[in-house]
Amino acid sequence: MRIAEVVIDRSVRGLDRSWSYAIPQPLEPLAVGTRVEVPLGNGKAQGIVVAVEPASPLPAEVEIKAVIRVLDPYPVLTEEMLDLARWMAERYVCYLPQALKAMVPSAVRRGVRPPVKWRYRATGQRHKRSSLKQTLWEWLHDHPGATRQEIQQTLGDKSGAAIQALLAEGSVVAEEDHASAPLTVTDLPYDLNEDQVRAITAIRERRFNQWLLEGVTGSGKTEVYLAVLDEILQQGGQALVLVPEIALTPQTWERFAQRFPNSVQVWHSGLADRDRAKIWFDIQHDRPAVVIAARSGVFLPFRRLRLVVIDEEQETSYKQDEHPRYHARDVAIRRAQSFGATVILGSATPSAETAWAAREEKIGWLKLPHRVMQRSLPHMNVVDMRQELEGGNRGIFSQALTVAVGSALDKGHQVLLFLNRRGFSTFVLCRACGQAIGCPHCAVTLTYHSDQERLRCHYCDFQIPVPNECPTCHSSKIRHFGAGTERVVAEVERLWPKARIMRADRDSLTTRDSYYTMYRTFLEGKADVLVGTQMIAKGMDFPMVAVVGIVAADMGLHFPDFRSGERTFQLLVQSGGRAGRGSVPGQVVVQTYNPEHYAIQHAVTQDVQAFLQQEFEMRRELQYPPFGSLWLLELSGPAEPTALEMAHEVARQLAWRLEGLEATILGPSAAPLLKIRNHFRYHILVKSTLAQEARVGIQLSQCQGEFPELSVTADPYFML
Ligand code: ADP
Ligand code: ZN
Ligand code: ZN
């Protein structure tokens, strides 16, 4: 009897391995990747077969329990995906069942099946007296393969019952229709430019399997994706196009659907179960297609993946913030490698990780340096808020922004106002010299904890009492900082009572529909001013926007996260792209207390290379990615002293576990948001060299196994 190695679908310590079960003859041939029900303890459990062995690995006297039944009549995962799950468990320090679970959509797990299209055919002989049934049989005899719809069109609505009767009688058979619509490609209305042609040729010649395609918004990157997709589809391949969740507006995918009317599928969190199941089975049945997907689409069961496009590859929404805490870009690249598929990473402002890989020639580097049709980039105007204060302006809006908004509204143009973050008031800033108080060791801003009136470093726990005067310029104009979208809205209402205002942040936009409604309303000119967080900075095309105001650039700049400079730079460059998209010339006003900061300086000149140069230096010096590996460990508990004690215990254990490895332990320290839902949270940060990433990862995984309250995030993006 053959033996199935089964991973049980429960993410607890102790079950995190495979268990051996005998395969009863009637269940053979049982394939790897099939979901099964097995006995476990005194009960039953579900699991996935990860291997099949010819004989038991255990001594003969050990009795092996048998698989009870198979849950689906086919394997849900391929060998390639099982392999990916093992890699994820290691890379992201999670349990194997967690990784496996992420790969099978819940609709498929619950047995939802896609609607099937049936085709009908008459069989054998049938000579009965004339009736609807006999007419139908004869018609089907002449029209084999007709669909239900075709039958009804010819023979009327009553034919439904007649088909059922004929099926029951056995003189008609129904067959599932698996054929996909033929590939059609619509023509391009213009010629591709030289840069686009160069990029497409390089990708087709496959000098590299992975490419960074760097080009500002509107430089024609999507046309490059479409051209490469065209070739892949002609060859019958499958392609995955990942886009940030928020960019999954119809506007984005319509471009793809227009070019390939029969071949584009869209995968996102708002889909109904049946639609999900349909796409999932289509891909599993090897149909050639382009799937445009948000993060989770990276786990679709591809069989012939030939191309992966990751648009806006720098977007942090590709990182999942619950277990398994994967990064869709890394998973996609890993999958593409298994298939030998090409990867295109598209961005105007590439992540430091990707940009570094391109500089080191680990991946190819293609550039689209110009906007198509010579459209110009808008003018960026940086306002020094320290001078505003000196001049007696204590409001949220500078003189320059007030004038710009006022004149835009007079002309009937639209205005976008961004806050870099939602209103956190978590750091202390000197309004006279613009310095935020930072950690002397970690290149992050200290976090303000109001309960103790202290500033603490969230990485290494360096701390000081909140000073009364600025350590740099000795001014007393030092205070904690924050403005929420509501406050900005109130100010706009006060200054321009007639303006029609809309607010867009995570509180006001909770669903895809509300997001889309907001988008349409503003696009159709039914509002004059849109106030929002960075979520409105991306991918949106509003031709009537004349002014973009970044109300408080410092808020993102001083987030306690080593990527805060990078994110601010990206946001500023992206918002620049939001102004002047149509015939209305655009201008951007950036308000900051820190105009000297390199992220702001280089954003104003739109100088991606200069920014990255400085970013690389900082990261190399402090061994942050891509020059080192990083993990965030979190301990939380309902009582503050126990959570902290536990954190110290974990840190002590880590100290001996990591001894002799090139790794540093920082903390424990209070999380910037110390208390969430009545739980106190403490963080430990672990850094290592790239060379020792795997060995450190194994130690962390074992440590996580010993402390149920500990959760580990590899390559963290959300450090609050
Ligand atoms: P990106 O993806 O870099 O933002 P797109 O591919 O969306 O850029 O191109 C921006 C706009 O320019 C689109 O409306 C597109 O149809 C148009 N476009 C792209 N390439 C060309 C070209 N070679 N000639 C004229 N228009 C183009
Ligand atoms: Zn100062
Ligand atoms: Zn520090």
Query: Per residue, what are the HEC states of 389-428?
Result: HHCCCCCCCCHHHHHHHHHHHHCCCEEEEEECCCCCCCCE
Taking every pair of Cα atoms in the chain, the longest distance, rounded to a whole number of angstroms, is 105
| Residue 367 included in any domain | no
- Compute the distance between CA of residue 619 and CA of residue 684 in angstroms, rounded to an integer: 19
How high is the mean pLDDT of the chain? 87
Closest residue by CA, ligand 1 atom 9: 220
Closest residue by CA, ligand 1 atom 18: 220
- Compute the distance between CA of residue 31 and CA of residue 41 in angstroms, rounded to an integer: 24
Residue 217 CA, ligand 1 centroid: distance in Å? 9
Determine the pLDDT at residue 280: 92
Closest residue by CA, ligand 1 atom 20: 220
- Compute the distance between CA of residue 324 and CA of residue 322 in angstroms, rounded to an integer: 6
Residue 371, class by beta-carbon neighbours within 10 Å (0-12 exposed, 13-18 middle, 19+ buried)? Answer: middle
For the CA of 431, the nearest ligand: 2
Determine the pLDDT at residue 204: 95
Domain check: are 308 and 443 in the same one? no
Banded pLDDT at 537 (limits 50, 70, 90)? low
Does residue 357 or residue 244 have the better pLDDT? 357
Domain check: are 418 and 434 in the same one? no
Closest residue by CA, ligand 1 atom 10: 218
| Residue 662 included in any domain | yes
pLDDT at 9 over 90: no
| Residue 530 included in any domain | yes
- Shortest-distance atom of ligand 1 to CA 219: 3
Domain check: are 29 and 160 in the same one? no
Domain with residue 209: its CATH number is: 3.40.50.300
| Residue 476 included in any domain | no
Domain check: are 240 and 139 in the same one? no
- For 248-252, the CB contacts below 8 A with 24+ separation are 248/292, 248/294, 248/512, 249/515, 249/516, 249/519, 249/539, 249/540, 250/516, 251/539, 251/541, 252/292, 252/539
Q: Which of 223, 347, 538 to mutate to test the pocket of ligand 1 (most atoms within 8 A of CB)?
A: 223
Determine the pLDDT at residue 378: 74
For the CA of 463, the nearest ligand: 3
Determine the pLDDT at residue 369: 86
Mean pLDDT comparison of 16-25, 321-330, 333-342, 585-594, highest-scoring range:
333-342
Give SS3 for 292. Answer: strand
Domain with residue 657: its CATH number is: 3.30.70.260
Per-residue pLDDT tens over the stretch 457-516? 877 888 899 888 888 889 888 877 655 677 788 889 999 999 999 988 766 666 667 777
CA geometry: angle at 508 spanning 505 and 510, to 5°? 95
Residue 294 CA, ligand 1 centroid: distance in Å? 22
Residue 160 CA, ligand 3 centroid: distance in Å? 73
CA distances from 471 to 81, 393, 436, 480 (A): 54, 24, 10, 15
Q: Which of 197, 372, 373 to mutate to test the pocket of ligand 1 (most atoms within 8 A of CB)?
A: 372
Residue 453 CA, ligand 2 centroid: distance in Å? 19
- Shortest-distance atom of ligand 1 to CA 191: 23
Determine the pLDDT at residue 423: 44
Residue 628 CA, ligand 3 centroid: distance in Å? 17
For the CA of 669, the nearest ligand: 3
Average pLDDT over residues 277-289: 86
Residue 327 CA, ligand 1 centroid: distance in Å? 28
pLDDT at 214 over 60: yes
pLDDT at 400 over 90: yes
Closest residue by CA, ligand 1 atom 14: 218
Domain check: are 636 and 575 in the same one? no
Give SS3 for 534. Answer: helix
Residue 224 CA, ligand 1 centroid: distance in Å? 9
Domain check: are 290 and 415 in the same one? no
Residue 437 CA, ligand 2 centroid: distance in Å? 9
CA geometry: angle at 282 spanning 280 and 286, to 5°? 115
pLDDT at 80 over 90: yes
Closest residue by CA, ligand 1 atom 26: 372
Beta strands in 490-596 (DSSP E): 501-504, 529-532, 545-552, 587-592
Determine the pLDDT at residue 180: 66
Per-residue pLDDT tens over the stretch 609-645? 999 999 999 999 999 999 999 999 999 888 888 889 9
Residue 544 CA, ligand 3 centroid: distance in Å? 45
Q: Of the residues 614, 644, 678, which one is the last residue of a structural domain?
A: 614
Q: How far is CA 397 from the centre of its chain?
A: 33
For the CA of 312, the nearest ligand: 1
| Residue 623 included in any domain | no
Banded pLDDT at 439 (limits 50, 70, 90)? confident
- Shortest-distance atom of ligand 1 to CA 217: 4
Could you tell me the pTM of the whole model? 0.84
| Residue 597 included in any domain | yes
For the CA of 474, the nearest ligand: 2
Contact 111, 105 (CB under 8 A): no
- Shortest-distance atom of ligand 1 to CA 215: 3
DSSP state, 43? E
- Shortest-distance atom of ligand 1 to CA 224: 6
Which range (156-170, 189-203, 393-407, 422-436) has the least confidence? Answer: 422-436
Closest residue by CA, ligand 1 atom 11: 218
- Compute the distance between CA of residue 118 and CA of residue 145 in angstroms, rounded to an integer: 9
Domain check: are 323 and 245 in the same one? yes
Domain check: are 83 and 125 in the same one? no
Residue 219 CA, ligand 1 centroid: distance in Å? 6
Percent of the chain past pLDDT 70, that is, above it, reads 92
For the CA of 374, the nearest ligand: 1
Helix (H) or strand (E) holding 683: strand 679-688
CA distances from 10 to 36, 41, 56, 84 (A): 14, 13, 24, 19
- Compute the distance between CA of residue 623 and CA of residue 6 in angstroms, rounded to an integer: 40
Q: Of the residues 90, 109, 128, which one is the last residue of a structural domain?
A: 109
Residue with tokens 């020639």: 361
Residue 28 CA, ligand 3 centroid: distance in Å? 59
Tokens read off for 255? 């471009």
- Shortest-distance atom of ligand 1 to CA 216: 3
DSSP state, 195? H
Residue 462 CA, ligand 3 centroid: distance in Å? 5
Per-residue pLDDT tens over the stretch 168-194? 888 888 887 766 677 788 888 889 999
CA distances from 55 to 7, 8, 62, 64, 149 (A): 18, 20, 13, 11, 52
pLDDT at 422 over 70: no
DSSP assignment of 294-344, as one string?
-GGGGGS--SSEEEEEEETTT-GGGB-SSSS--BHHHHHHHHHHHHT-EEE
**Domain, as residue range, for 267:** 194-361
Domain check: are 694 and 569 in the same one? no
Q: Structural domain tally of the chain? A: 6
- Shortest-distance atom of ligand 1 to CA 368: 3
Beta strands in 162-303 (DSSP E): 172-176, 210-215, 238-242, 264-267, 290-293
Domain check: are 444 and 309 in the same one? no
| Residue 624 included in any domain | no
For the CA of 461, the nearest ligand: 3
Does residue 118 or residue 46 have the better pLDDT? 46
Residue 557 CA, ligand 2 centroid: distance in Å? 17
Residue 218 CA, ligand 1 centroid: distance in Å? 6
For the CA of 464, the nearest ligand: 3
Banded pLDDT at 606 (limits 50, 70, 90)? confident
Domain check: are 384 and 294 in the same one? no
Q: Of the residues 614, 638, 666, which one is the last residue of a structural domain?
A: 614
| Residue 620 included in any domain | no
- Shortest-distance atom of ligand 1 to CA 223: 6
Residue 569 CA, ligand 1 centroid: distance in Å? 24
Q: Which of 193, 197, 222 to mutate to test the pocket of ligand 1 (most atoms within 8 A of CB)?
A: 222
- Shortest-distance atom of ligand 1 to CA 311: 2
Cα-flanking dihedrals φ and ψ of residue 320, to 5°? -85, 135
**Where does ligand 1 bind, in terms of residues with CB under 6 Å?**
190, 192-193, 196, 215, 217-223, 372-373
Per-residue pLDDT tens over the stretch 239-279? 999 998 765 666 777 889 889 988 899 998 778 888 899 89
Domain check: are 686 and 662 in the same one? yes
Per-residue pLDDT tens over the stretch 115-133? 777 788 898 888 888 888 9
